[in-house]
């Protein structure tokens, strides 16, 4: 008996031929025979294409075979705020041209717009909206995420949001040309060989967050307006190249954070206006590893580079350190150069505070740059001195050290060949910001949390500032309290504020409203005079650049991020700032009483709630009784009760005659408090209007959905129609178009006619 053996290759071909079929195209639309995506997916075979036309389709969807789904005219897949909207359960799925919205809100269940659990997925040209997690990859190797608009649930606090892109144990992923906003992080964890290119991440916690992911490239991205721009942790051989990382000033405020990170290359990045440009913690970690920082522009940060510990084997060459308040901070007892064998190399960098010369005109300084400021030395030894970081005391100490060199500071670093001109990499915006920026900042005391209320005349202290100011205004009837003309704020080619003009009359409350990143905080900082700008700003007739001291005397400022010394009591904190402002004990007592701080005077700062800290910040801003208050997102971190209390205080201050300018992204605050609203969008002033016209200017309409008994529904529709409302039946309810400031009128009108409203909902539609 003979056995007949089929070669394995032939057997594979035979088996493949038995499953082979001609791919087909299935069309889905609300009016077609197939009007359900579930049915279309069930009927399709692997390799088929499903064309989906404009309409509403319900999630959740589970795709369990290799299919291509193409949307035409933006069909919508709506998860109805339940669970995952679309789940990929097979490899080689391609999704393109859809609006995917309204996932659930469970962090523990990881509700997402799209969940991918197989390799070779392609997700491109989609709009993924109002989702907890955006695109979640699990062991989805070789996935492509390209040209998508991804936005999270903006109404949730950042800790409650999900990651709008999460890559988990998924190698060789391409994430390219996506616009990502209002999420938590873009995460790449335990994933090798991935590329993150030409994406924009805004209004999040960490713009980009890598952990345990080696051999990846992060290039040409924009990360702005986050708490941290880019955080690279526990990874090796990542290249961070040609990215723009700006305005990351949250609670942490790093542009780039590095922790236990080896063999990294940071090159040609634009790192502008962060609390700390680059924060380095134990990187490199391994003895045989190095770090390279080459050709970066590190400009206008509070600290350019901060080294948490003494870190060797770092090569810092060809970078441009431009007008950082502190170019390099060393948070250890050693200097930044290290030892001769394994030390750090600082070579050929440009330093805007270099005081040397170039006699032979070769582009290099003829003497070494040494970072040896006495105050920075003292601050490294006594961290509490950071309290005075924006005080003129710093310049006085450093001037004294140079003029009377009895105490010579230890150099933090030495660059033997500093460049005379900054290097701006090709394709990045040139940072053409005037060097007077530092001089403007040190001209006044911006204390630990940015209160700007200096007074130069102790004799005038007893006269109420508001009264004297309004007497002065009586002689200047032609000028408003605040006049802004053609304000432009640039960071190279990046325009943060674009040709904005407006005015504020004395005693008015004016709100800057817009989403995060719209330019609200930047405008406020320009008004305060702490960053340079183009155009003109006058505060009660004073030019903030030419007469900044006089202008700032009129202003009290409450920032969004508040920082006090945790172990001081409320009373000690108030007394400390009162001494700095040279205000009387009577002023302290007055504001303690008005703001309800008396029961809390003995409490330490760390014992206070967020609302009480905000009240304390307001009290300090008001110690000198300034006529103008600036507030940056004053209620952003408060609960509803604390928010109401704080707004009530502001209302009382407005009645007393204060001029109040505040930023907010909460429309309810704007409606309840502001006289006028300045609507900002990407740095542009798109409307200046009363609160009642905001929705109209934005092209939005507001509706009430009223639920009454079925017997009374027709009567309710008739009554509201006769009262002039546009009204229609909407399912089991009544849909009424209302002005945003008249939401209660339909309910009260029906109640007057004996019709009870059992429930209601409020909606805003584009």
Map out the domains of the chain as residue ranges: 23-150+163-181, 205-372+412-439, 373-409, 701-765
Q: Mean pLDDT throughout 676-688?
A: 85
How far apart CA 61 and CA 42 sit, in angstroms, is: 11
What is the model's pLDDT at position 763?
62
65 with 105: CB under 8 angstroms?
Answer: no
Lowest-pLDDT choice from 39-43, 161-165, 387-391, 760-764: 387-391
* CB-count exposure of residue 330 (10 Å: 0-12, 13-18, 19+): buried
How far apart CA 651 and CA 507 sit, in angstroms, is: 11
39-42: long-range pairs with CB below 8 Å, 24+: 41/65, 41/67
Q: Which residue has the higher pLDDT, 68 or 638?
A: 68
Which residue in this structure is represented by tokens 């030894």?
381
CATH architecture of 701-765: 2-Layer Sandwich (3.30)
Q: CA distances (Å), 139 to each of 118, 519, 629, in order? A: 6, 39, 52
How far apart CA 297 and CA 424 sit, in angstroms, is: 7
Measure the CA angle with vertex 64, ends 60 and 66; round to 5°. Answer: 125
Give yes or no on whether 23-150+163-181 and 701-765 have one common fold: no
Fill in the DSSP letter of residue 601. T
Check pLDDT > 60 for residue 476: no
Residue 392's CB is within 10 A of a number of other CB atoms, namely 12
Q: Which residue has the higher pLDDT, 340 or 601?
A: 601
How far apart CA 81 and CA 173 sit, in angstroms, is: 28
Which pLDDT band holds residue 404 (cuts at 50, 70, 90)?
A: very low
What is the model's pLDDT at position 701?
64
**Class level of CATH domain 23-150+163-181:** mainly beta
737 with 727: CB under 8 angstroms?
Answer: yes
Check pLDDT > 70 for residue 722: yes
Q: What is the DSSP string of 611-635?
A: HHHHHHHHHHHHTT--SEEEEESTT
Q: Which residue has the higher pLDDT, 130 or 358?
A: 130
Helix axes 610-622, 640-655, angle to 10 degrees: 20
Q: CA distances (Å), 690 to each of 500, 510, 512, in order? A: 18, 9, 12
660 with 650: CB under 8 angstroms?
Answer: yes
What confidence tens digit (pLDDT) does each residue in 132-153 have? Answer: 999 999 999 999 999 999 999 9
Listed residue (499, 434, 430) closest to 682, CA to CA: 499
Check pLDDT > 60 for residue 83: yes
Q: Mean pLDDT throughout 40-53?
A: 94
Check pLDDT > 90 for residue 199: yes
**Could you give the residue ranges of the DSSP H alpha helices within 46-201?**
none
How many residues make up the chain in this entry?
766
Across 195-204, 524-533, 546-555, 708-717, which has the greatest mean pLDDT? 195-204
Which pLDDT band holds residue 742 (cuts at 50, 70, 90)?
A: low
What is the model's pLDDT at position 461?
32
Across 274-288, 321-335, 447-461, 729-743, which has the greatest mean pLDDT? 274-288
How far apart CA 461 and CA 446 sit, in angstroms, is: 20
Which pLDDT band holds residue 343 (cuts at 50, 70, 90)?
A: low
What is the model's pLDDT at position 551?
84
Check pLDDT > 70 for residue 650: yes
79 with 102: CB under 8 angstroms?
Answer: yes
Listed residue (555, 532, 533) closest to 542, CA to CA: 555
Lowest-pLDDT choice from 349-353, 642-646, 670-674, 760-764: 760-764
How far apart CA 518 and CA 203 sit, in angstroms, is: 10
Which residue in this structure is represented by tokens 């206008």?
300
How far apart CA 35 and CA 40 sit, in angstroms, is: 8
Measure the CA angle with vertex 52, ends 46 and 56; round to 5°. Answer: 125
Mean pLDDT (the chain, rounded)? 79
What is the model's pLDDT at position 413?
81
């Amino acid at each position: 008996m003979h056995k007949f053996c089929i070669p394995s290759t032939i057997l594979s071909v035979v088996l493949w031929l038995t499953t082979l079929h001609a791919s087909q195209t299935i069309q889905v639309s609300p009016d077609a025979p197939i009007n359900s995506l579930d049915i279309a997916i069930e009927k399709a075979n692997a390799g088929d294409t499903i064309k989906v036309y404009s309409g509403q389709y319900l999630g959740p969807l589970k795709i369990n075979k290799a299919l291509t789904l193409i949307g035409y005219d933006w069909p919508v897949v709506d998860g109805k705020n339940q669970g995952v909207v679309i789940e990929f359960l097979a490899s080689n799925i391609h999704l393109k041209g859809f609006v995917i919205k309204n996932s659930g809100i469970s962090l523990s269940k990881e509700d997402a717009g799209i969940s991918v659990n197989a390799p070779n997925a392609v997700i491109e040209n989609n709009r993924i909206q109002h989702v907890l997690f955006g695109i979640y990859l699990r062991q989805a190797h070789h996935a492509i995420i390209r040209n998508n608009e991804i936005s999270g649930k903006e109404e949730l606090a950042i800790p409650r949001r999900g990651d709008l892109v999460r890559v988990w144990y998924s190698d060789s992923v391409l994430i390219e040309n996506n616009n990502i906003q209002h999420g938590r992080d873009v995460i790449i964890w335990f994933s090798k060989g991935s590329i993150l290119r030409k994406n924009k991440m805004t209004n999040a916690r960490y713009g980009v967050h890598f952990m345990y992911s080696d051999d990846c490239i992060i290039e040409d991205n924009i990360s702005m307006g986050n708490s941290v721009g880019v955080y690279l942790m526990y990874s090796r051989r990542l290249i961070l190249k040609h990215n723009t990382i700006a305005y990351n000033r949250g609670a942490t405020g790093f542009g780039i954070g590095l922790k236990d990170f080896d063999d990294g290359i940071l090159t040609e990045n634009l790192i502008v206006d962060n609390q700390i440009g680059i924060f380095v913690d134990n990187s490199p970690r391994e003895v045989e590893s190095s770090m390279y920082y080459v050709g970066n522009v590190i400009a206008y940060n509070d600290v350019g580079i901060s080294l948490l510990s003494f870190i060797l084997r770092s090569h810092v060459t060809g970078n441009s350190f431009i007008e950082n308040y502190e170019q390099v901070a060393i948070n250890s007892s050693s200097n930044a150069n290290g030892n001769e064998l394994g030390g750090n190399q600082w070579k050929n960098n440009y330093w805007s505070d270099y005081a040397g010369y170039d006699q032979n005109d070769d582009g290099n300084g003829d003497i070494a740059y040494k970072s040896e400021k006495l105050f920075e030395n003292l601050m490294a030894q006594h961290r509490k001195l950071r309290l005075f970081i924006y005080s003129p005391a710093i310049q006085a100490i450093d001037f004294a050290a140079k003029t009377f060199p009895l105490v010579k500071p230890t150099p933090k670093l030495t660059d033997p060949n500093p460049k005379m001109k900054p290097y701006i990499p090709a394709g990045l915006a040139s940072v053409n910001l005037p060097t007077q920026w530092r001089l403007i900042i040190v001209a006044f005391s911006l204390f630990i949390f940015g209160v700007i209320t200096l007074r130069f005349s102790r004799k005038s202290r007893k006269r109420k500032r508001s009264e004297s100011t309004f007497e002065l205004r009586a002689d200047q009837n032609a000028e408003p309290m605040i006049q802004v003309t053609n304000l432009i704020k640039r960071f190279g080619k990046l325009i943060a504020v674009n040709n904005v003009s407006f005015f504020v009359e004395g005693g008015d409350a004016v709100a800057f409203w817009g989403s995060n990143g719209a330019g609200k905080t930047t405008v406020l900082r320009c008004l305060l005079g702490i960053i340079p700008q183009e155009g003109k700003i006058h505060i009660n007739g004073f030019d903030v650049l030419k007469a900044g001291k006089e202008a700032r005397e009129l202003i009290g400022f409450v920032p969004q991020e508040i920082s006090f010394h945790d172990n001081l009591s409320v009373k000690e904190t108030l007394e400390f700032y009162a001494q700095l402002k040279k205000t009387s004990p009577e002023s302290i007592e007055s504001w303690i009483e008005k703001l309800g701080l008396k029961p809390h005077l003995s409490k330490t700062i760390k014992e206070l709630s967020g609302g009480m800290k905000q009240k304390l910040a307001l009290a300090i801003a008001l110690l000198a009784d300034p006529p103008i208050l600036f507030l940056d997102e004053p209620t952003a971190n408060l609960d509803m009760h604390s928010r109401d209390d704080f707004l009530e205080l502001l209302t009382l201050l407005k009645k007393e005659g204060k001029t109040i300018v505040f930023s907010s992204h909460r429309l309810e605050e704007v409606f309840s408090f502001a006289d006028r609203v300045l609507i900002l969008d990407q740095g542009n002033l798109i409307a200046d209007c009363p609160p009642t016209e905001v929705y109209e200017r934005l092209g939005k309409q507001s509706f009430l959905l009223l639920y009454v008994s079925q017997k009374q529904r027709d009567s309710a529709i008739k009554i509201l129609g006769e009262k002039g409302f546009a009204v229609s039946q909407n399912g089991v309810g009544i849909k009424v178009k209302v002005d945003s400031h008249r939401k209660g009128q339909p309910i009260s009108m029906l109640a007057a006619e004996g019709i009870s409203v059992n429930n209601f909902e409020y909606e805003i539609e584009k």
